[in-house]
Structure 1
Amino acid sequence: MGLEEKLPSGFLLTTVEKAVGWARKNSVWPATFGLACCAIELMATGGPKHDLARFGMERASATPRQADLMIVAGRVSQKMAPVVRRIYDQMAEPKWVIAMGVCASSGGMFNNYAVVQGVDHIVPVDVYLPGCPPRPEMLIDAIVKLHDKIQNMKFGAHRAAQLEELERRALRTLPLIEQGAGK
């Protein structure tokens, strides 16, 4: 038709990526995974004072098959690591992870054999949220940062390459964790 030459480069695809990014960003369904004291702050974030419904996240899923965001709140023990990975594997694509609190991010003050030194050894993490425990306002800030990341995410091979690298890093240590948990 000749219309392609008259449009600016990438006009149609960029518009589609932005529309899909906007839709994904406003319909994230979290699978809450509260393991320790950070879970209390996570529950407070869902209350009326902080109102996660503003972000399209009022529906917390009890099943991983209906969720696309895992919020790991608290320390992850070696025994719980394979369970966290199994839940992550059952989540719908595309999926994201927030490591909430210093224990989920780096093991925190529990530098021993029983606690995984960062959930990124098990699953790829998109946003790290520091604090012990982090306040609900900090979780909302992390969610806003994740929304920016989701909205600006590329399609196809670019996201696949990024996920492949994160998976490779996480899977390097997962067999060691599973051996320690008795598998």
Structure 2
Amino acid sequence: MEPIRCSWCSASDLYKKYHDEEWGVPVYDDPTLFEFLILETFQAGLSWITILNKRENFRAAFDYFDYKKIALYSEDKIEELMQNTGIVRNKLKIKAAVSNALAFIKVQEEFGSFSDYIWKYTDGKPIVNHLKNSKDAPATTPLSDEISKDLKKRGFKFVGSTVIYAHMQATGMVNDHVENCFTRKGK
């Protein structure tokens, strides 16, 4: 028998695997936080399943989200990425990945790690919401508004409040699994 899950992930086995193993699990390491940040920025205006289906292509195309390499991408590399049919070919988003890598490194220099910076907003602990239905999850919150505003001041692009709230959900800063979801057992 299938376990009870949040309703949004029933469309595919890939979606279920992501929901079961990653979504809402706290992430404290900078490389994974950067990967999710870049994937979320590419997702803006698209469905998350579109990004999940292309995730391995993104990893290969973007040097497995090595932000130090991405920060050095040339115009030639950006043009090469624009020809890659395995990813979302949006020049503004590709250029944002480069500028976001540079901004990410600056945040690391200032705070010791991006993790220390981002998790300070929740005192290092997940915010656990108690939702009866996935549709009750907000798209933004005052906290995602605040983080978005600060990231933009620091030079990040495509980091509106909706993108940031999705990032917070993906990296476990917020646990928006519905109350009867099997992932909440023991939490």
Q: TM-score range by the shorter chain?
A: under 0.3
* Max Rg structure: 1
Could you say which structure has the higher helix fraction? 2
**Structure with the larger RCO, 1 or 2 (CA within 8 Å, 6+ apart):** 2
Q: Which one has the bigger strand percentage?
A: 1
TM-score (norm 1): 0.25
